[in-house]
Every structure is written in C-alpha cells, then in structure tokens.
C-alpha cells in the first residue's frame, strides 16, 4: 500500500509540466544524483558510495585539493538514502542484470551495504553487470555519470526524478526507487512493451 501511494505521487510529479519547484519531503533528482556520482568518482576514480569521508592518507601529507575532493565525495544529499525493500529484484528483472551487487572493487557481495547509498550501489551494480557500455569499475571517469537518465524532461520544465519519498531522507520505509514503469534508464534500457490487451484497448479508442 505504501509503495502504491508513492507511485501515485511519482506519476503526479512526472506529468505536471512547467513545474520548476516540487513540494515534497524528499526527492532524489537526476541532477543531484549526477553531482553525487561525479564527486565520488573524482576523489579516487572509484565509487565508494559512503556517507562519511574516507580517512586521509597516512603515508604522505594530503594536499588541500585532495582533502577537498575527499570531503566532497561524501554522499550527503537526498540521493544518499537507504531504502528498506528489495530493489535488486526489479533491477535484475527489468534491466537484464545477470550479476548482483558488488563492492567498491567490483567483488560480488550478497547484500547491499547499510553504510553506502543505495543509488550509488545501483549504479555500481549496473557498471559491473555490463549495462553501461564502455564503463569499467577499475577505470572510472566522472563522465560515467552521463549514462544515467531519470523520468522527466528538464527541457519541458519537468523535474527528472530518480527516487521519491513521502517522508524524511532518514526514513528507510518511505523511499521508492524508479526501477519499474517510468524508470531510470541507461543506454535506452530497460525497454518497456505494452501488453497486447492494453494495446488492443488503446487502439479501439483511436
């Protein structure tokens, strides 16, 4: 029931045109996600996905620029949430992900990390699973973030939304990630096809 309400909220957000400001408790937009991914990668060319800074190097003196990048790499926006449901299942079913979750080095893991942002872990899994062409976890550049597209059209005055919540960012139960229907896409995937019965009904109205 809670996810049904969130889906209705998402549909309302996406279909309202000429909207430049959304009154909602928490929304992870494409632009915010893009910035988070880029900042994470710029630090050490990896997706650490952490909500707290990595420790500074102990074998040498950290430069001011390195410190700045390390602190900016922290996931601390509305896209840094931790959801409470199994989003890996729709990721596999709808995107054709044959592998599963991986850690920062691309090593398979059984469960997602509680101390790492789910949106970042999803992007990392998509890279490891080969869903994003030309991008490898061991050779990341900030441009890798360009591959993600979320529902909505900025050009049409809409907000591109990747995930939405009816509560505060820290409330796990309230988050819904757009991995079904109007969903996050990469390389034009996933591709959605209208069921035959639905298409027949639509054709009969035309």
Give 126-129 contacts, CB < 8 A, sequence gap 24+: 126/91, 126/95, 126/97, 126/186, 127/47, 128/99, 128/102, 129/97, 129/98, 129/99
Q: Using one digit for the tens of pLDDT, what is the confidence trace for 146-189?
A: 998 898 766 666 678 999 987 655 555 578 998 886 566 655 55
Per-residue pLDDT in tens (0 to 9) along the chain, 206 residues = 545 544 444 444 444 333 333 444 689 999 999 999 999 999 999 999 999 999 999 999 999 999 999 999 999 999 999 998 999 999 999 988 888 999 999 999 999 999 999 999 999 999 999 999 889 999 899 999 999 889 876 666 667 899 998 765 555 557 899 888 656 665 555 543 434 443 333 344 34
The Cα-based distances of 164 to 22, 63, 111, 179 in angstroms read 11, 37, 22, 12
pTM of the entire predicted model: 0.77
């Amino acid at each position: 029931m809670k996810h049904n309400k969130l889906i209705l909220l998402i549909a309302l957000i996406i279909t309202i045109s000429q909207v430049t400001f959304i009154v909602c408790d928490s929304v992870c937009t494409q632009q915010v996600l893009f910035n988070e991914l880029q900042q994470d990668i710029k630090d050490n060319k990896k997706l650490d996905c952490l909500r707290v800074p990595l420790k500074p190097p102990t074998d040498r003196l950290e430069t001011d620029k390195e410190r700045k990048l390390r602190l900016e790499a922290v996931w601390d926006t509305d896209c840094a949430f931790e959801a409470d449901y199994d989003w890996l299942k729709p990721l596999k079913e709808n995107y054709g992900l044959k592998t599963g979750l991986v850690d920062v080095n691309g090593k398979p893991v059984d469960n997602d990390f509680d101390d790492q942002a789910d949106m970042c872990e999803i992007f990392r899994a998509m890279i490891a699973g080969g869903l994003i062409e030309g991008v490898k976890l061991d050779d990341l550049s900030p441009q890798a973030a360009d591959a993600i597209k979320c529902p909505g059209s900025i050009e049409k005055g809409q907000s591109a939304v990747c995930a939405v919540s009816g509560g505060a960012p820290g409330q796990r139960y309230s988050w819904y990630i757009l991995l079904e229907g109007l969903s996050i896409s990469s390389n034009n995937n996933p591709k959605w096809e209208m069921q035959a019965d639905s298409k027949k009904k639509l054709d009969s109205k035309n």
